[in-house]
Structure 1
C-alpha cells in the first residue's frame, strides 16, 4: 500500500477520512500506578488496547496504522522495565502473528533493529515475511525509533550514494530524502493521536508529520479502544486541512 494509492488526496482535494493514523501510546505506567499495580501491568493492558485498535481500523476506514511502541529515549528507563517490555514484544509477536494474518494486516517495523536482541530481530523479520501479502491494513510498529535518528540515517545513506557516484548531490531533494526514510513508500500520517493528555510528539515521525493533524486525548492508552478511535476520527473529519493554502 504505497503513495500511489493515496493520490486522490492532494492539497487541493484533501480527503475527509484519515487513511493513515499514527498513535503515541502514552499512559501505560500511570494507568498501573493509579491502580496500585506495577508499571508492567499497564504495558500488558496496553497490549490489549493495541489489539482493539488494530481490529477497529479497517471498519473505520483506516488503511495504515503506525504505533510508537519503544523510542530511542526509552532505554533510559529501569533495567527491569526495559526487560519486561522486550519480553512483552516477544510475546505479542508470537501470540498475535496468526490473528494479524487472519485479519489481513501487513506488519512493518521501523527503527534501529541493530539495537535490539537477535531473537527479537528474528521475530520481527518473521512476522513481516508472514504478513507481507496482506492488504486490509498496514500496521507499522516503531521499535527503538527516534525521528531525528531516522532523518540522520537517511541523510547518511544518501551521502554514501552521492560519494559513490550513484546519484548527483543536486538529486538529493525532498522526495529523495523521503524515500530514504524507514517509512519510504508509505503515505504520510493524516492524523497523529497522543493519549494521556500530554501535548508533545516526542521525536516521533518528525518529517512525516509535517502536515498531519494533531489530536491530544485524555484517555490513558490502556483505556483507548474502538470507541475512542472512532471519536478521534469523527473530530478529524470536521477539520479543514489546507496544507498551507488560504481557506476559501
Structure 2
C-alpha cells in the first residue's frame, strides 16, 4: 500500500528511565456510546451522535496540547457483526462528520488520514474519505488518523502476506525479514508508534487495536463513557503518562 509521507518527523525514543515528556502519539479507543445512550433511555444512534461531538472536542484538545499524532479507533472490523441498523447509523454519521468537519480540520491545521478496510463502506463513503484526506493533506499541526473497519490481527496478517509474496517472487530472502521490514508493511508505516493509549468506559483491553505498534506504549484506562469525554480527561491521561517511567525493556535498575 502506498502512503503519502506524514508532515512531521518521526519520534525520537526518550532515554530509558529518564524524564518523561508529553507523548508525541496518542491512540484512543473510544468506548461507551451505547451504554451512554442506554443509561439515558435514548436510542443507540443518539449515543453515537454524542460520541461524534466528543471526537470534535478531543481533536481540538489534542491539537491544543501539542500532540503530533492522534489515532482514534472509530470502527473495528468486528463491528460489522452489529445489527444492520446500527451499522447504517454509524456509517451515516461518518459521512456527516466528513462533510461537516473537514473544513474545520483544514482551518485548524489538522491532517486527516484513514486506515483500515475503507472499501467496505461503499463508494459514497470512500469518496468522502478521499476528499477529506486530499483537502487536509498539507496540514502539519496535528496528524489525525481514524481507524475504520480496522483490526490489528488482519493488518499484521496482511503484512505477512505481502512479505510472503516477495519471497515467493524471489525478490526477498526469508532470513532478511526482520521487525523493521514487517513494520514497513503495516498501515502505520510512516507513523511513530503510540506512546500512550487511552481507553474510555472502564474497560481494560486493547480490542485488536494497534497490537504491533503498542508493544511499548503506556496505557491509561478511564472510567468515563466516550460521549462524556472532555479536554480535562485528556489532560488527566497526559498527566498520568508524564508520571510514568518508560524503560523499553531495559529493566528497573
**Is 2:77 aligned against 1:72?**
yes
Partner of 1:245: 250
User: Which consecutive residues of structure 2, in runs of 5 or more, have no partner in the other structure?
Assistant: 1-5
Deviation of the 1:166 alpha carbon? 2.7
Deviation of the 1:8 alpha carbon? 5.4
Alignment partners' CA distance in 2, 1:101 and 1:13: 36
Partner of 1:205: 210
Deviation of the 1:150 alpha carbon? 0.4
Alignment of 1:21-32 (within 5 A): 21-32=26-37
Residues 2, 165 of structure 1: alpha-carbon distance in 2 compared, 3 angstrom cutoff: farther
Partner of 2:3: none
Indicate if the aligned counterparts of 1:21 and 1:189 stay in contact, CA closer than 8 A.
yes
Partner of 1:48: 53
Q: Identify the match of residue 131 of structure 2 among 126, 135, 143.
A: 126
Across the two proteins, how many residue pairs are aligned to each other? 248
Partner of 1:110: 115
User: Which consecutive residues of structure 1, in runs of 5 or more, have no partner in the other structure?
Assistant: none
Deviations 1:38-61 (A, max 9, x none): 011010001011010100112212
**Is 2:168 aligned against 1:152?**
no
State TM-score, norm by structure 2: 0.94
Alignment partners' CA distance in 2, 1:153 and 1:115: 16
Alignment partners' CA distance in 2, 1:167 and 1:9: 33
Alignment partners' CA distance in 1, 2:102 and 2:94: 12
Deviation of the 1:126 alpha carbon? 1.3
Alignment partners' CA distance in 2, 1:108 and 1:239: 29
Question: Please, what is the CA RMSD of the aligned residues?
Answer: 1.6
- Aligned to 1:128, the other structure's residue is in SS state helix
- Aligned to 1:6, the other structure's residue is in SS state coil
Indicate if the aligned counterparts of 1:3 and 1:185 stay in contact, CA closer than 8 A.
no
Alignment partners' CA distance in 1, 2:18 and 2:128: 40
**Is 2:106 aligned against 1:101?**
yes
Deviation of the 1:11 alpha carbon? 4.3
Deviations 1:201-243 (A, max 9, x none): 1011010001101111001000101111011101110011111
**Is 2:49 aligned against 1:38?**
no
